[in-house]
Amino acid sequence: MAKIQAVDFFCSGGGMTCGLRQAGINVIAGIDSDPTCQDTYEKNNPGSRFILADVFKLKEKDLQKKIGIKKNDKNLILIGCSPCQFWSVIRTDKKKSEKSKNLLIEFKRFVDYFKPGYVLVENVPGILSNRKKSGLDKFVLSLEEKGYAVHCEIVNMSDYGVPQSRKRFSLIATRVSKNKISLKKKVAKKRLVKDVIGVENGFARVKPGHKDKTFFNHSVAGLSEKNLNRLKQTPKNGGSWLDWAKNKNLKRKTYRGEGFKDNYGRMSWNKPAPTITTRFFSISNGRFAHPVENRAISLREGATLQTFPKKYVFYSNTTENVARMIGNAVPPLFAKQLGQVILNSEK
């Protein structure tokens, strides 16, 4: 049997690539328009080439020449896990992410041209609730017209061993078989925050603003005096801002639905973490405070909750760039299971 190969569009720092390689799939290349991802992608995934390109400008024939993939290759997977914050249910400034709304449509060009054996798509759940505007309806219909068996659903990755409640739209399409491919085996017991972070899991107690100069990158964002005092008043292990909501020195300017309800909250040891976003290093952007320490979770803690191996090094000098690579990633553990189910479908 020929070895399955893959091309990872919108690869960022390589979460999907890492997981597929763990499953035994040869990821030829990752494509992304962010040059700050290249070192992280290539140094952690040796042999997988990083291609710096804007998918809106990249031509199908040019990609074919660059990496030598063929049309109609049944042993090829094309992966399109675009960072489509435009369709996210989280209320953010949609103007900043407007370009991302058409990434699935652009990815479709490459699927139409190469007609690979398999197609993988992972995205925010909002792409399904906006299936016409996002281009999902046309994408799925086009696959089915080409003879693909298409399975798509909303999954919570905590059901597959990822220690966070991360709901995502997942699509697996195959034209190698008439049978749809899906992830069926859910874990009997979900992994919790206490299972992966904390002192007993190798994470030293640190203070806000701690800079880890090693490759482990247990670095933590600083806190203003007010936010530090807010955390001191937030109950350990899952507490929220409601406990200081009426304190005139600490209270937020808005409570009533204007802000994301989990802002300034602590994670709970005994639950999966909330979705790790690109702003997980900031307590004002979600329930990203450590369960007991008065700080946000560190960059390495965020990466671990995303199931990146602890030896996976993020090569960037800025917190924002590292957090973006981590938050945008498909958790490698989930990607590994996608790879395994594809490989098992060929047996």
Each as own residue / partner, the long-range contacts of residues 344-347 (CB below 8 Å, 24 or more positions apart, any chain) are 345/174, 345/176, 345/177, 345/179, 345/181, 346/1, 346/4, 346/176
Give the tokens for residue 297: 């979770």
pLDDT for the residue numbered 88: 44
pLDDT for the residue numbered 99: 58
Residues constituting the chain: 347
Q: 1-45 pLDDT, tens per residue?
A: 569 999 999 999 999 999 999 999 999 999 999 999 999 999 999
The Cα–Cα gap between 58 and 286 comes to 35
Active-site residue set: 84
Contacts for 185 with CB less than 8 Å, ≥ 6 apart: none
User: Domain locations in the chain?
Assistant: 5-186+331-345
pLDDT for the residue numbered 135: 75
pLDDT for the residue numbered 210: 98
Tell me the pLDDT of the chain (347 aa) as tens digits. 569 999 999 999 999 999 999 999 999 999 999 999 999 999 999 999 999 999 999 999 999 999 999 999 999 999 998 875 543 444 555 455 455 557 888 999 999 999 999 999 998 888 776 666 667 889 999 999 999 999 999 999 999 999 999 999 999 999 999 999 999 889 999 999 999 999 999 999 999 999 999 999 999 999 999 999 999 999 999 999 989 988 999 988 765 544 467 899 999 999 999 999 999 999 999 999 999 999 999 999 999 999 999 999 999 989 999 999 999 999 999 999 999 999 999 76
The model's pTM = 0.93
Domain 5-186+331-345 of CATH type 2.170.120.20: no
Q: 268-314 pLDDT, tens per residue?
A: 999 999 999 999 999 999 999 999 999 999 999 999 999 999 999 99
Q: What is the DSSP pairing of strand 167-174 with strand 149-156? A: antiparallel
Distances (CA, A) of 21 to 235, 268, 313, 332: 41, 32, 16, 9
pLDDT for the residue numbered 94: 43
Q: What is the DSSP pairing of strand 26-32 with strand 49-52? A: parallel
